[in-house]
Amino acid sequence: MILDKGICTIYRKVNAAGAGHKPVYQEQPFYQSWYAELDFGTREARPTDGREETWHDAKVRILQCRRVNNHDRVELKETGGDVTVYDVTRAYHGIDDDSGELITDLTLEVYKP
């Protein structure tokens, strides 16, 4: 798969306060990669008991980064200039079936401050 949709920057909250002080969180970028959009479905056709229902606004593929976790913040900047901010709801680390490249697929939800 060709990763050419735009640039994906991933941020993590870190505590910037000194020792013994009330936490002050800042977002710190820790990874950047080109990304590609993936096809996805937002809802199951027949939800079953015991299944957690989640909402997905986007699904993208990046070069593998095993440091990505749920609740990390993702900024997608398309090559045309549009920027959208998301929260990670799921990160899958694996291998691309076509090329054999190590990849990470991110399931994303629009960030609501």
In this prediction, residue 113 carries a pLDDT of 76
In this prediction, residue 63 carries a pLDDT of 95
Q: At which residue do the structure tokens 């593929």 appear?
A: 61
In this prediction, residue 54 carries a pLDDT of 61
CATH topology of domain 6-40+55-110: Thrombin, subunit H (2.40.10)
Element (H, E) at 92: strand 83-95
Distance CA 68, CA 101 (A): 17
Contact in structure between 6 and 62 (CB atoms under 8 Å): no
pLDDT lower than 50: segments of the chain: none
